[in-house]
A = this chain, B = another copy of it.
Amino acid sequence: MEWMDDIYSKKIAGMRKSLIRELLKLTQKPEMISFAGGLPSPLTFPQEEIAELARDVILKEGSWALQYGATEGITLFKEQIIEFMKEDGEDVCLDNILVTTASQQGLDMVGRVFINSGDIVIMGRPTYVGAIAAFRGYEANFVDIELDEHGMKTDLLEKKLAELKEQNLKPKFIYTVPDFQNPAGVTLSLERRKHMLELAREYGIIIIEDTPYRELRYVGEHVPSIYSLDQNAGYVVALHTFSKILFPGLRLGWITAHTDVIDKFVLAKQAMDLCSPPLCQAIAYEYCRRGLLRGHIAETIEIYREKRAAMLEALTRYMPQHPEITWTEPEGGLFLWVILPENVDVDKMFHKAIEENVAFVPGTAFHADGGGKNTLRLNFSYPSPEQIDIGIRRLARTIENSLPG
C-alpha cells in the first residue's frame, strides 16, 4: 500500500528478510538433504517424558505456571538454573539471572540496552546471522575481527581497539560465540579468552558471550567461560538457551550479568513482553528438578558426536583434492565451515546445489558487509548419518563442477 510507505520506522525499513529463512523454503522437498538449518534433531527430544511431566507440573504448580510471572523469571526456575551452572563452575545468584524468550530475545535486549544508532559493535568474521539481524535492528555499525581455528584473533582485536581509540571511537561491546562458534565451528582458546577479557577491562567495554552450544562438546577439553573468568566483575554479559540442550519449542533462555546490568534488562523486558511464558518455565523447572537435564545432554552428545564424525568422514572421502579447499573440525556444536578457492562464487553455486538436492547456507549471510563469498556453513545436527553421507557426496560433486578450469 503506497500510502503507508512513509509510515514505517527507519529501523524496519532497513531490515531485510532472513536469507536463511528464504533458503529454508527451498529445502522443503522430501528428496532434499539440507545442511542449511540449525535445527536440533527431533531424535533428541524427550517427548514422552515431557508429555507426562507437563501434565504433572501443571497440576502441581498451576497457580504460578498459568498466571503472569515476574519479569526476571520464576524464582524456583532460576534456582534450578543456578544449580545447573554451578556444575559448570559458574557462581551466580538470583539477581544475576534474567529469563528470556531464548537467546534471540537476549540478543535483541542487548541491542535495546546498549546500542544507540551508529554505535560500533565488534564481532567475529564470520559471525552469527541472528546477532547481525538483532543489532542491525538498533542501527549498529559493525567492525569485524578475523577468526582462525582458535577463534577470534585477539591480537587483531587489540590492534583494532587501539586504532578506534586513536580516532576517539569507543565500541559498545565485543560479541563472541566462544564455544563451537556459529557458523565457523571454532572454539576460542583459554589464552585468547583471558586476553579478550584483559582488553575489555583496559578499554572499559563489555563482552557479550553467547553460549548456545557450550554444553555440546564431542571431543577435547572443556574451556572455562569468559563469564567465569571475569568473576562477576561486570565485564561480561552471557547468553544461554535451552534450545539446544532440551528443545527449542520452549523458547527459553537466560542472561547472566552483573545485577546493575540485569536491572536494565528487566526494564527493557517489561516493555517488551512482561515475562517469558511461566508455563514453559514450569516445564523446564520440573525437568531440571527431577535431575534429568545432565543425562539428557549426555544422550544428545552421543547422537551428535556420531553425526559430526559422519560429516568429517564424508568430507574427507568426497571433497575434491584442492589446496584451497578446507573445512573446520569443530569440537562441539552444530556447524562446520567450508572455505573454497577465492574465485568460487558460493551464492551462484548454491542454486546448482539445490538442483542436486543438497542445501547449505552461503557464507555471505554471516558477514555484515556481504563478504565471505567463497565460504559456506554446514549443519550436521539435523540430517541422519546416512543423509550426511549422500548429501556431502552431492555437495562435493557440485563444488567440483564449480571449480574454475
Task: Judge whether A98 is part of the interface by a CB distance below 8 angstroms.
Answer: no
Q: Write the chain B residue with the least CB distance to A11.
A: B112
Give, as a whole number of angstroms, the nearest-CB distance from A194 to chain B: 20
Decide: A251 near B271, CB < 8 A? Known: A54-B55, A116-B9, A279-B280: no
Q: Give chain B nearest CB distance to A245 CB in angstroms.
A: 13
Q: Does A392 make an interface contact (CB < 8 A)?
A: no
Give, as a whole number of angstroms, the nearest-CB distance from A205 to chain B. Answer: 7
Residue A338 at the chain B interface, CB threshold 8 Å: no
Nearest Cβ in chain B — how far from A55, in angstroms? 4
- Contacting A9 at CB < 8 Å: which of B17, B66, B114, B249? B114
A256 interface residue per 8 A CB criterion: no
A8 to chain B, nearest CB (A): 6
- Nearest B residue (CB) for A115: B9
A interface, size bucket: 35 or more
By a CB distance below 8 angstroms, the chain B residues around A333 are none
Contacts of A173 in B (CB 8 A): 7
Q: Cβ of A243: which chain B residues have Cβ within 8 Å of it?
A: 68
A186 within 8 A of B: no
Asked whether A283 is an interface residue with its Cβ less than 8 Å from the other chain, the reply is yes
Q: Which of A141-149, A257-265, A358-366 contacts B (4 or more CB under 8 A)?
A: A257-265
CA separation between A282 and B9, bound complex, in Å? 33
Q: For chain A residues 273-288, which have a beta carbon within 8 Å of chain B?
A: 273-280, 282-283
A57–B64 alpha-carbon span in the complex (Å)? 21
Answer whether residue A62 sits at the interface, using C-beta atoms and an 8 A cutoff. yes
Cβ of A319 within 8 Å of any chain B Cβ, yes or no, is no
Please determine whether A101 and B277 come into contact, CB atoms closer than 8 angstroms: yes
Q: Which one, B8, B116, B247, contacts A10 given CB within 8 A?
A: B116
**CB distance B15 to A42 under 8 Å?**
no
Distance between Cα atoms of A40 and B279 in the complex (Å)? 15
* Best-buried of A59, A114, A260, A274 by chain B (most CB within 10 Å): A274
Contacts of A279 in B (CB 8 A): 249-251, 279-280, 283
Does B251 contact A113, Cβ atoms closer than 8 Å?
Answer: no
A316: chain B residues within 8 A (beta carbon): none
CB A61 to nearest CB in B, in angstroms, measures 10
State in angstroms the CA–CA spacing of A21 and B108 once bound together.
23
* A108 and B277 form a contact (CB under 8 A): no
Query: Considering the complex, which residues of chain A in the window 59-115 have a beta carbon less than 8 Å from any beta carbon of chain B?
Result: 59, 62-69, 71, 101-102, 104-105, 108, 112-115
Question: Are B62 and A58 neighbours in the complex by a CB distance under 8 Å?
Answer: no
Q: Is the CB of A248 within 8 A of B112?
A: no
Q: How far is the CB of A313 from chain B (nearest CB, A)?
A: 27
Shortest beta-carbon contacts, A-B, top 6? A51-B58, A66-B249, A55-B55, A251-B277, A249-B278, A47-B62
- 10 additional contacts, CB 8 Å, given A1-B260, A10-B116, A102-B273? A1-B234, A1-B258, A7-B173, A12-B114, A15-B271, A42-B63, A134-B271, A249-B277, A249-B282, A251-B275
